[in-house]
């Protein structure tokens, strides 16, 4: 190839320092390579020419041939707009500019045939085109004619500075002229022929300058496959390297603790899913490699018992174990749940959080280091430098998306050799995301609920049905049950949310007066001690109604609470609604979730509410959520950066993703070090990507 794709964009003819600076700031384009990877958002059919008399009031993009007959300046608030009269042989319309007017007047010829292109507006009884693209008919006929006109991503600043779609298209053409349209092939012949993929050259030319729609779709498929293939290759390789290089402690035996618990103290029969996951964990712990496993299971599917039994395997082999949870409430709950099981087996277990007293802390530190303390449960407090284990063999992290990567690596360093890691989450991760983001972790799924659990009945009610809902609450309380009423919290400090919560609380106090009803309230502005006191009253059954913001979302376990009312449910995301619903249905009684909304609902809100009332399958809900919100939102800011995909979309291109993962696996099974001559091209591309891309500081 005659051109180095790492050349700074400044050197491309037609760019220059000012434009280069804008392209860097606005579109993150630094090099020729970045420009090649600026793929069009969409394409417009430019074979059609419209007549003014045939225009419809539909905001469509149209192309018209005609002449500008006059210009005039029209005053508006504090500035002027430039209006041109444009006509063809069927009618008259207006062209409008709000900026760049001097340039337009100086560079546009009157009564000369032009092709105009843009989005039509209907205003004051006539059609107008704001900021149209203008091209002399004589030029239009000379140019490289494409039936499919690419539309590139852009920003307001770029358009204001004159870098229009047409300018971007010209810069792109220049790049293809300079490179003579010759680009390195990045996939091996075996894959190209097996999947009938077009070459890299053909794909790049047809994605930027498609000759027809068939070639365009072949080009898009080829480039999407390549992008996803190298991401999957990276993740699978990472997992292989992890397993071969990072040695774990082999837990060679299943001993006394595990067997005694399994035979004599298991509180219920394990589901088949739990047995399968335990087998997978046991296999990891018995191998020589360090376990790095993600355990997914819906709320109430019994992840904690699986985690505890994994800890027993560590203890049976003479190691310590720890469990880290994101909040104090959750860690206290884990501790209380496991305490009883540990007492039966004579295992020492302790809880360490921010509010642990200094004396108890000292004792914990001492017993951890001398090995007397076998299991430690806690919050971020486990990460403090003072916390040193004698021999930590297994670290379990609950709801890991709440911990940063740096925090997790701190746990690793507590030992000479890294402990086995089990990451648990009750937020089901759609398969597509799991493959793309957690592709370097082994994944286990608990996909059945323990027997005796009844499905939660979920209904949607409008505000006007509130009296009936209150009557239903009274009936449930009369049966001895408890009720959650949750208000949305968009920001902890938001005055409006706080007001909604307090107004709601006051109206509930009026409808459920003392002494017949006791009500707790919990929100983010309260001191932790007050919050805890109110929670405890509800847990002990001293209050029948808990009015709260989403502080109660994760992990509060009150088996006697059978009704969850979610106020303004349209303001919640799907996964949040699903998590909140999971707070009820923890006992043997029938539980209910009532979604309250106003009458005004957006389409997305309707989809969310319909999904909630139709299904309680967390994975199905997660898939819908992913389609509605996109991957960035679901993964949160720390991790969304890893999927800065250039052309593929992991939701719409799920099939291509699966295929890419399948072939990446096949290549690495056959040739883990990519040493075979047929894989030379993969190895070269992989190294190049590693050099110039920063998507590869992937995750765990």
- Tokens 């969850």 identify what position? 564
| Check whether domain 256-286+302-425 has CATH 3.40.50.300, yes or no | yes
Three-state secondary structure along 574-642? HHHHHHHHCCCCCCCCCCEEEEEECCCCCHHHHHHHHHHHHCCCHHHHHHHHHHHHCHHHHHHHHHHHH
Confidence of residue 699 (pLDDT cuts 50, 70, 90): very low
Confidence of residue 407 (pLDDT cuts 50, 70, 90): low
Q: Domain 47-145: which topology? A: OB fold (Dihydrolipoamide Acetyltransferase, E2P) (2.40.50)
> What pLDDT score does 100 carry?
84
Q: pLDDT tens-digit profile of 415-471?
A: 767 899 998 987 777 777 777 767 777 889 888 877 777 889 999 999 999 999 999
Confidence of residue 333 (pLDDT cuts 50, 70, 90): confident
Q: Which of 637, 608, 640 is nearest to 625 (CA)?
A: 608
Q: pLDDT tens-digit profile of 165-206?
A: 889 999 999 999 988 878 889 999 999 999 999 999 999 999
- Tokens 């919100």 identify what position? 629
What number is the average pLDDT over the span 49-67? Answer: 90
> What pLDDT score does 99 carry?
85
Rounded Cα distance, 419 and 317, in Å: 13
The residue that leads in pLDDT, 499 or 124, is 124
> What pLDDT score does 495 carry?
62
> What pLDDT score does 694 carry?
42
Rounded Cα distance, 668 and 679, in Å: 10
Rounded Cα distance, 615 and 457, in Å: 10
Q: Domain 457-615: which topology? A: Rossmann fold (3.40.50)
User: Is residue 487 within 8 Å of residue 513, measured between CB atoms?
Assistant: no
Confidence of residue 696 (pLDDT cuts 50, 70, 90): very low
Residue 422 pairs in a beta bridge with: 293, 396
Lowest mean pLDDT segment, chosen from 79-88, 291-300, 653-662: 291-300
Q: pLDDT tens-digit profile of 633-680?
A: 544 433 434 457 889 887 788 889 989 999 999 999 999 999 999 999
With a cut of 60, say whether residue 145 has pLDDT above it. Answer: no
With a cut of 90, say whether residue 685 has pLDDT above it. Answer: yes
What number is the average pLDDT over the span 40-52? Answer: 86
> What pLDDT score does 660 carry?
94
Three-state secondary structure along 292-338? EEEEEECCCCCHHHHHHHHHHHHHHCCCEEEEECCCHHHHHHHHHHH
With a cut of 70, say whether residue 404 has pLDDT above it. Answer: no
Mean pLDDT of the chain: 87
The 10 Å Cβ neighbour count of residue 694 is 9
Residue/partner pairs of 259-266 with CB below 8 Å, 24 or more apart: 260/345, 261/309, 261/312, 261/341, 261/344, 261/345, 262/309, 264/344, 265/341, 265/344, 265/345, 266/305
Task: Assess whether the region 256-286+302-425 and the region 457-615 belong to the same CATH fold.
Answer: yes
> What pLDDT score does 400 carry?
63
pLDDT over 70 percentage in the chain = 91
**Best mean pLDDT range from 391-405, 524-538, 608-622, 628-642:** 608-622
Q: pLDDT tens-digit profile of 357-403?
A: 999 999 999 999 999 999 999 998 998 889 999 999 999 998 765 55
With a cut of 70, say whether residue 90 has pLDDT above it. Answer: yes
User: Is residue 504 within 8 Å of residue 521, measured between CB atoms?
Assistant: no
What number is the average pLDDT over the span 587-597? Answer: 92
User: Is residue 570 within 8 Å of residue 602, measured between CB atoms?
Assistant: yes
Distance of CA 295 to the CA centre of its chain: 18
User: Is residue 563 within 8 Å of residue 479, measured between CB atoms?
Assistant: no
Domain chopping of the chain, boundaries: 47-145, 212-245+647-692, 256-286+302-425, 457-615
Rounded Cα distance, 541 and 545, in Å: 9
> What pLDDT score does 555 carry?
52
Q: For residue 448, what are the CA distances in angstroms to 136, 141, 148, 429, 592?
A: 67, 65, 49, 16, 20
> What pLDDT score does 605 carry?
94
Q: Work out whether strand 392-398 and strand 420-425 pair parallel, antiparallel, or are unpaired.
A: parallel
> What pLDDT score does 689 carry?
83
> What pLDDT score does 695 carry?
38
The encoded tokens of residue 143 equal 């140019």
User: Is residue 642 within 8 Å of residue 695, measured between CB atoms?
Assistant: yes
């Amino acid at each position: 190839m005659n051109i180095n794709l790492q050349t700074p964009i400044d050197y491309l003819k037609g760019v220059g320092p000012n434009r280069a600076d804008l392209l860097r700031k606005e579109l993150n384009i630094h090099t020729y390579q970045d420009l090649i990877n600026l793929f069009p958002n969409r394409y417009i059919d430019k074979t059609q020419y419209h007549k003014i008399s045939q225009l419809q009031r539909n905001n469509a993009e149209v192309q018209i041939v005609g002449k500008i007959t006059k210009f005039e300046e029209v005053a508006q608030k504090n500035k002027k707009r430039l209006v041109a009269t444009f006509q063809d042989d069927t009618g008259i319309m207006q062209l409008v500019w709000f900026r760049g007017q001097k340039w337009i007047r100086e560079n546009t010829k009157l009564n000369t045939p032009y092709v105009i292109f843009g989005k039509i507006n209907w205003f004051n009884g006539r059609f107008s085109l704001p900021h149209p693209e203008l091209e002399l008919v004589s030029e239009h006929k000379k140019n490289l004619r494409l039936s499919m006109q690419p539309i590139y991503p852009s920003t307001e600043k770029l358009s204001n500075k004159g870098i229009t779609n047409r300018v971007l298209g010209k810069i792109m053409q220049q790049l293809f002229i300079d490179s003579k349209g010759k680009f390195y092939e990045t996939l091996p012949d075996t894959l190209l022929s097996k999947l009938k993929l077009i070459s890299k050259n053909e794909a790049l030319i047809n994605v930027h300058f498609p000759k027809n729609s068939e070639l365009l779709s072949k080009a898009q498929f080829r480039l999407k496959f390549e992008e996803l293939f190298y991401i999957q290759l990276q993740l699978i390789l990472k997992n292989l390297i992890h397993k071969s290089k990072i040695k774990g402690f082999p837990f060679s035996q299943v001993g006394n603790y595990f067997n005694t618990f399994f035979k004599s103290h298991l509180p219920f029969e394990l589901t088949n899913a739990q047995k399968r996951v335990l087998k997978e964990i046991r296999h990891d712990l018995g191998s020589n490699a360090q376990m790095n496993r993600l355990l997914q299971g819906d709320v109430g599917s019994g992840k904690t018992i699986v985690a505890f039994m994994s800890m027993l395997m560590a203890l049976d082999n003479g190691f310590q174990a720890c469990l880290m949870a994101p909040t104090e409430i959750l860690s206290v709950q884990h501790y209380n749940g496991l305490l009883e099981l540990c007492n039966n087996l004579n295992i020492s277990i302790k809880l360490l959080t921010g509010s642990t007293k200094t004396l108890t802390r000292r004792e914990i530190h001492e017993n951890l280091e001398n090995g007397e303390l076998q299991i430690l449960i806690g919050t971020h407090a486990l990460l403090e430098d003072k916390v040193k284990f004698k021999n930590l063999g297994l670290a379990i992290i609950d709801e890991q998306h709440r911990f940063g990567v740096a925090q997790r690596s701190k746990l690793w360093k507590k030992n000479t050799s890294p402990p086995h890691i089990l990451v648990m989450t009750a937020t089901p991760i759609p398969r597509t995301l799991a493959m793309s983001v957690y592709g370097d972790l082994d994944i286990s799924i608990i996909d059945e609920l323990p027997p005796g659990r009844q499905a939660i009945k979920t209904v949607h009610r409008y505000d006007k049905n509130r009296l009936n809902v209150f009557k239903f609450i009274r009936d449930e309380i009369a049966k001895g049950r408890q009720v959650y009423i949750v208000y949305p919290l968009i920001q902890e400090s938001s005055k409006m949310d706080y007001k909604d919560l307090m107004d709601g609380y006051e109206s509930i106090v009026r409808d459920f007066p003392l002494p017949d009803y006791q009500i707790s309230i919990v929100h983010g502005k309260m001191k932790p001690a007050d919050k805890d006191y109110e929670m405890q009253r509800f847990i002990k059954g001293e209050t029948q109604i808990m009015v709260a913001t989403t502080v109660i979302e994760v992990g509060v376990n009150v088996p006697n609470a059978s009704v969850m009312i979610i106020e303004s449910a349209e303001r919640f995301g799907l996964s949040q609604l699903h998590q909140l619903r999971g707070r009820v249905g923890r006992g043997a009684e029938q539980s209910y979730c009532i979604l309250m909304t106003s009458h005004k609902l957006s389409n997305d809100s309707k989809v969310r509410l319909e999904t909630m009332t139709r299904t309680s399958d967390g994975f199905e809900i997660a898939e819908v959520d992913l389609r509605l919100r996109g991957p960035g939102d679901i993964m949160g800011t720390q991790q969304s950066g890893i999927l800065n995909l250039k052309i593929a979309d992991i939701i719409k291109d799920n099939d291509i993703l699966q295929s890419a993962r399948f072939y990446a696996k096949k290549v690495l099974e056959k040739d883990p070090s990519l040493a075979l001559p047929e894989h030379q091209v993969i190895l070269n591309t992989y190294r190049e990507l590693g050099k110039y891309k920063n998507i590869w500081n992937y995750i765990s």
